[in-house]
Amino acid sequence: MKRSTTLLADGRELIYFDEHDDAVRQGPDQRDLPPPPPASELRFDPLTDEWVAIAAHRQTRTFLPPSDQCPLCPSRPGRASEIPAHDYDVAVFENRFPSLSDRIPADPDGFAQVTPFTAARPGVGRCEVVCFTAEHDTSFAALPPSRVRTVIDALADRTAELSRLDGVEQVFCFENRGVEIGVTLHHPHGQIYAYPFVTPRTRSMLAAARRHAERTGGRSLYADVLTAERAAGERVVVANDRWTAYVPAAARWPFEVQVAPHRQLPDIAALDDAERDSFGTLYLDVLGRFDRLFDSPQGTPYISAWHQAPVHRDRGLGYLHLQVFTIRRAVDKLKYLAGSESAMGVFINDVRPEQAAALLRAA
């Protein structure tokens, strides 16, 4: 894989990950762009012990442009995009409308305490866009396994690099697919958030892992759960020598799959070559099953989220895994996060996990 870096017209970084060493991705960004926005504001919610990002500049981000104006397609004569090159394999660049950024305003007083209980600070971090392919009218599920390997290598690279940035505590790689999920660009792409804190979901999972380790003399909770799921088999969708994809016994979403390596690793960067190679065919199999569930022309909307260990703490408690889920619960029905889920955080699933696993195996 060839890695090459350049800067966009406003100073943001762009990195090409090419599958051939002779690929040439030269060419300056010819656009006249305003400076990137400063970092957002983080406000602390004392009632939940959580940080909330206030990023008002994101109100103006690009929203569902026509395909001939897609900012993620390669540039062409008369139409400059976020990718100056005329072609690419995988490209990663700093988000033009980031929720988190290392561009701190010169006036630190702008982040004064809101109330005696609500602290405020700059939203230090980084947000990147990951373009999986130069082709606009396709999907991740249609990529060849070799391209999935390139994507995994790119995510490993970015996880390692972002983990070294000052102030970053957790790196989150994910893909949103479908307007039902909230996608604002149709071009196949994912995102990476480098957070300046450990996220609430991860803190909860680490606390459970810590309690299990204390009860069992240091055993890994996720490893034990994975072993139990593999032994039961009822909720396993597909597996190979190094990965298992299964529906969690307490799945929150109508159709939810976790894809886990068979050995405990903290993050994507820790995957070896064999694990990276064998992930692609299994993951494409899972995505294909999601699409065949409802046989929708636009494909099944989903969120694909990599759970990685924090950068500086509790890395021995973390267990890398990928969570894939859809909000579609039937051909013509969506799962909305209504009162119980949105207000109380208590999920009510309309589909039994065992039934979901059986349907996915049959798809």
Q: How far apart are the C-alpha atoms of 53 and 349, rounded to whole Å?
A: 29
Confidence tier at 108 by pLDDT (50, 70, 90): low
Residue 132: what pLDDT? 98
Confidence tier at 26 by pLDDT (50, 70, 90): confident
- Residues 115 and 210 placed together within one structural domain of the fold: no
Q: How far apart are the C-alpha atoms of 237 and 202, rounded to whole Å?
A: 25
Asked if 308 and 320 touch (Cβ cutoff 8 Å), the reply is yes
- Residues 257 and 330 placed together within one structural domain of the fold: yes
Rounded to the nearest angstrom, the gap between the alpha carbon of residue 41 and the centroid of all alpha carbons in its chain is: 22
- Residues 89 and 222 placed together within one structural domain of the fold: no
- Residues 213 and 356 placed together within one structural domain of the fold: yes
Answer with the one of 197, 214, 236 that is the final residue of a domain.
197
Burial class (CB in 10 A: 0-12, 13-18, 19+), 78: exposed
- Residues 16 and 84 placed together within one structural domain of the fold: yes
Residue 295 confidence (pLDDT) above 90: no
In tens, the pLDDT along 308-353 reads 999 999 999 999 999 999 999 999 999 999 999 999 999 999 999 9
Confidence tier at 23 by pLDDT (50, 70, 90): very high
The total number of structural domains that make up the chain: 2
Asked if 246 and 257 touch (Cβ cutoff 8 Å), the reply is yes
Answer with the one of 175, 197, 219 that is the final residue of a domain.
197
- Residues 210 and 118 placed together within one structural domain of the fold: no
Residue 252: what pLDDT? 97
- Residues 156 and 76 placed together within one structural domain of the fold: yes
- CATH number of the domain at 315, please: 3.30.428.10
- Residues 169 and 276 placed together within one structural domain of the fold: no
The pTM of the whole model exceeds 0.95: yes
- Residues 59 and 185 placed together within one structural domain of the fold: yes
Q: What percent of the chain has pLDDT over 70?
A: 99
Residue 127 confidence (pLDDT) above 70: yes
Residue 261: what pLDDT? 98
* pLDDT average, residue stretch 142-169: 98
Confidence tier at 60 by pLDDT (50, 70, 90): confident
Catalytic residue among 186, 187, 189, 321: 189
Residue 242: what pLDDT? 98
189 is catalytic: yes
User: Which residue range(s) make up the domain with 318?
Assistant: 201-362
Answer with the one of 172, 197, 222 that is the final residue of a domain.
197
- Residues 10 and 115 placed together within one structural domain of the fold: yes
